[in-house]
Amino acid sequence: MSSATHRSLQESTVPSPDPHWPLLQSVAALADAPLTHIAEQLRNASLPYLGSSALVIFTEDCTGRPQKKAGEEEIISRVSIAELDNLRAALADETPWFGEAEIAGRQRQVLALKYAPSNALLVLTDPRPAGPGHNDGLDMVTYLWRLAARRIQEKVTDAPPSYLLESRAASAERIRVTAELTDLHSTTLETLLAALRSSSLADAAARTTVTDLAAKALVGLRTLSDRTTDLAKEPVAKAFERLREDLRPLTRFSGIEVEFIEPPLNGRDLPGEVAHAARAIVRGLVLVMMEQPDVSRIRTQWDCDGENLLINVRDDGRGALSADTPSISGLERRVQALTGHLRMDVMAGWGADIFVSLPLDLPTRPAGDVAGWNLAARELEVLQHLAGGHRNRTIASTMGISENTVKFHVRNLFKKLGVGSRTEAIALAHSHGLR
């Protein structure tokens, strides 16, 4: 081969300054992007053609992470599934839609695109042409969006076990937050009805009371809905205080005294699902007891023995409650769902005494299949700390190593486990009995 021919072949393998080369690179990055980064890659690919303040993908293919977002934090941290669902419902087909819609709590100019095969939605907030060819830019963004939506479908179909575990965990968390919102909303409505029915309040006072309660409840509901990433654990004293705040307005209008015996301040933190279930169970028991005649006093007490949350609710009624009462049966099923126990002592003429025990840790199966990961002793120790929810700094302090060394072990863990995030690693560890 002559030097001229060799030079010619060399030059043919070097990308030319063709204006289409950046697009090809963007398409390749989009095709290879993991699901957790696909919104960021789609926004990067779209910006040369259509500017925006934020990009949001809404797809129910990903049950655990239906929103994938990139852009301004003020928008992506506040956009809600309800807003996206309403916008998607307004789109008749895949035709690009420009207009004003409520996103992240206020009206904004948006571009919305639907992908019919999966009913996925793309939203660009504050869209603006990035160049002179507006229609060309829109066509390119539409093409990139369809590519991304198709890739999401394929990636979910071929999802590895670690992704499915993470998705299931996220779905369960979202369901629990929704359930807590429902419970709190139900208590608020009961409180409002009690105030409106109260014969001790004049009409004007009732209206003022109901208005104040409704305003407070709305603030509380909005605050709770923003806490979806902060419910893993809750101090037992704080969880009990929230229960007292939930019940205080209702008991104020019932004429029944409710006594609260606080748990020890140094009690073990409660897992989020245990704290939520405990409040719901106590609210249910108090409401059932208040419906009885001749009840003037109810006492509720929490304690913690390090392994279980211990709940006691007692009334001074006639002792007419029965374990067969539908409300009690429903609460008992909820206790059993957390592998807990409910015991009920009823004494005629003396009232009902109900004891509930909720384990703080779910039963774990023996760790298995861990040997197949080929982890070094230090790596396994780091994984156990990750599974326990510890941060790098805590792990470093506990193990007597530097944070940089912890990060080194974590990177090795990701490679050996075939995961891309701490969440995936933790979910995989939990599935193998590591806690």
CB 78 within 8 A of CB 54: no
Residue 119 near residue 142 (C-beta atoms within 8 A): no
What pLDDT band is residue 229 in, cutting at 50, 70 and 90? very low
What is the per-residue pLDDT for 369? Answer: 59
pTM of the model: 0.41
> Is the pLDDT at 11 greater than 50, yes or no?
no
Question: What confidence category does residue 165 fall into, taking pLDDT thresholds of 50, 70 and 90?
Answer: very low
38-48: per-residue pLDDT in tens? Answer: 889 999 999 98
- Determine whether domain 371-431 maps to CATH 1.10.357.10: no
Highest mean predicted confidence (pLDDT) among 155-164, 177-186, 298-307: 298-307
Q: Indicate the CATH number of 254-363 among 3.30.565.10, 3.40.50.2300, 3.30.460.80, 1.10.357.10.
A: 3.30.565.10
CA 396 – CA 321 distance, rounded (Å): 54
Average pLDDT, the chain: 78
List, for residues 64-114, the tens digit of each pLDDT value.
567 888 999 888 888 888 788 889 989 988 999 999 999 988 899 999 999
**CATH topology classification for 3-157:** Beta-Lactamase (3.30.450)
Contacts of residue 96, defined as CB under 8 A and 6 or more positions apart, other chains included, come to 111, 112, 113, 138, 142
Residue 211: predicted pLDDT: 77
Question: Which tokens in the block code for residue 164?
Answer: 């499915």
Cβ atoms within 10 A of the Cβ of 149, count?
A: 24
In this predicted structure, the answer to whether residue 379 has a pLDDT above a threshold of 80 is yes
Confirm if 67 and 38 have CB atoms less than 8 A apart. no
The pLDDT score that the predictor gives to residue 228 is 45
pLDDT band at 356 (very low <50, low <70, confident <90, very high): very high
Q: Which two tokens stand for residue 320?
A: 């007419």
Q: Could you tell me which residues are beta bridge partners of residue 359?
A: 308
Based on DSSP, count helices (H) and strands (E) in the chain, helices before strands. Answer: 15, 14
